[in-house]
């Protein structure tokens, strides 16, 4: 019984694998995240192809590309996609860092949706932490999740507003922060905070940053990186 199940599984996987070029190219419909999604899709089919290596009857026929050429091209394609993905990611992050460190307060307000959140995430990465955008939708959601260098979980909210964020924004975010069991939280609000919001946050593991603070943090990161590249690294 088990043998017949595996035979069916190998048969299905072997048939579907024929169409890997079309399946990998499908994510290109979304140009912004196309390369990344192509790598993800390729990874999925790489698992399937590895499973097929255990098939007692190796693939001998192909509807599109004959074997073993199909498998060779598949893994070469994956290698190329990964290299391109790494290169594009590195280029985008460098571009984000340059743009973020040079934008004025008005420039931050005029950013396309999502770019401010990406700049904040990149700020944490530049500081040596791991950070990712969540993609959550909602006024009280979390925009960036940070895994700090010390292992702690931090959460961040970004407010690209033309008016100061009030006490209710900070209070609601603090509740979300506790729900997420985060050690620290931060809110980046381009137009700053009301006095009531600043007072409410005192004594809590919260950092409230306005656009000037955002630019100051980037300047600090730039100076640190410059010192690291120009000063000798003395080790015991």
72, 163: one domain? no
- 3-state DSSP call for residue 62? coil
**pLDDT value of residue 139:** 43
Do 120 and 212 share a domain, yes or no? yes
Residues of the chain with pLDDT > 70: what percent? 86
The pLDDT of residue 208 is 97
Residues 216 and 188 in one domain: yes
Whether 80 and 130 map to the same domain: the answer is no
Domain finish residue from 69, 99, 129: 99
Render pLDDT for 206-226 as a digit per residue (tens, 0 to 9).
Answer: 999 999 999 999 989 888 877
Q: How many CB atoms lie within 10 A of CB 67?
A: 15
Residue range of the domain that includes 48: 2-99
For residues 121 and 207, state if they share a domain. yes
Position 236 pLDDT exceeds 60 = no
Residue 166 has pLDDT above 90, yes or no: yes
Percent of the chain with pLDDT over 90: 46
Please give the Cα distance from 186 to 177 (Å, whole number): 9
Residue 30: Cβ within 10 Å count: 11
pLDDT digits (tens, 9 = 90+) for 7-36: 777 777 777 888 888 888 877 666 566 788
Residue 106 lies in a domain: no
pLDDT at residue number 168: 94
- Dihedral of CA atoms 42, 47, 53, 58 in degrees, nearest 10, equals -60
Say whether both 95 and 140 belong to one domain: no
User: Do 121 and 217 reside in the same domain of the chain?
Assistant: yes
Within this chain, do residues 44 and 135 fall inside the same structural domain, yes or no?
Answer: no
Model pLDDT, residue 183: 95
Q: Does some domain include residue 178? A: yes
Instruction: Return the minimum-mean-pLDDT range out of 74-78, 125-129, 138-142.
Output: 138-142
Give a yes or no: residue 222 inside a domain.
yes
Instruction: Determine the average pLDDT of the residues in 139-161.
Output: 90
**Strand duo 206-209 + 184-189: pairing:** parallel
Least confident of 51-65, 159-173, 191-205: 51-65
Q: What pLDDT was estimated at residue 211?
A: 92
Confidence band of 68 (pLDDT split at 50, 70, 90): confident
From 65, 99, 133, the end of a domain falls on 99
Total structural domains within the chain: 2
Say yes or no: 118 and 157 in one domain. yes
Q: What is the mean pLDDT of the chain?
A: 84
Same-domain status, 128 and 226: yes
Angle formed by the axes of helices 211-230 and 69-100, nearest 10°: 110
Torsion of CA 55, 57, 63, 68, to 10 degrees: 80
Domain boundary among 74, 99, 124: 99
User: Averaged over 152-162, what is the pLDDT?
Assistant: 94
């Amino acid at each position: 019984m088990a043998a017949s199940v595996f035979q069916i599984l190998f048969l299905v996987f072997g048939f579907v694998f024929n169409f890997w070029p079309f399946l990998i190219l499908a994510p290109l419909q979304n140009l912004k995240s196309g390369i990344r999604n192509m790598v993800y899709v390729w990874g999925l089919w790489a698992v399937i192809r590895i499973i097929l290596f255990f098939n007692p009857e190796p693939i001998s026929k192909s509807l599109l590309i004959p074997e073993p050429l199909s498998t060779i091209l598949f893994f070469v394609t994956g290698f190329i996609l990964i290299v391109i993905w790494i290169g594009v990611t590195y280029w985008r992050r460098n571009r984000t860092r340059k743009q973020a460190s040079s934008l004025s307060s008005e420039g931050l307000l005029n950013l396309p949706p999502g770019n401010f959140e990406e700049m904040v995430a990149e700020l944490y990465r530049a500081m040596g932490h791991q950070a990712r955008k969540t993609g959550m939708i909602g006024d009280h959601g979390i925009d960036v999740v940070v895994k700090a260098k010390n292992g702690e979980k931090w959460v961040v909210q970004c407010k690209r507003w033309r008016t100061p964020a009030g006490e209710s924004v900070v209070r609601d975010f603090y509740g979300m922060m506790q729900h997420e069991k985060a050690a620290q939280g931060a809110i980046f609000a381009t137009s700053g905070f009301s006095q009531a919001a600043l007072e409410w946050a005192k004594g809590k593991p919260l950092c409230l940053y306005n656009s000037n603070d955002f630019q100051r943090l980037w300047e600090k990161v730039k100076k640190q990186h410059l010192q690291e590249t120009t000063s000798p690294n003395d080790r015991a």
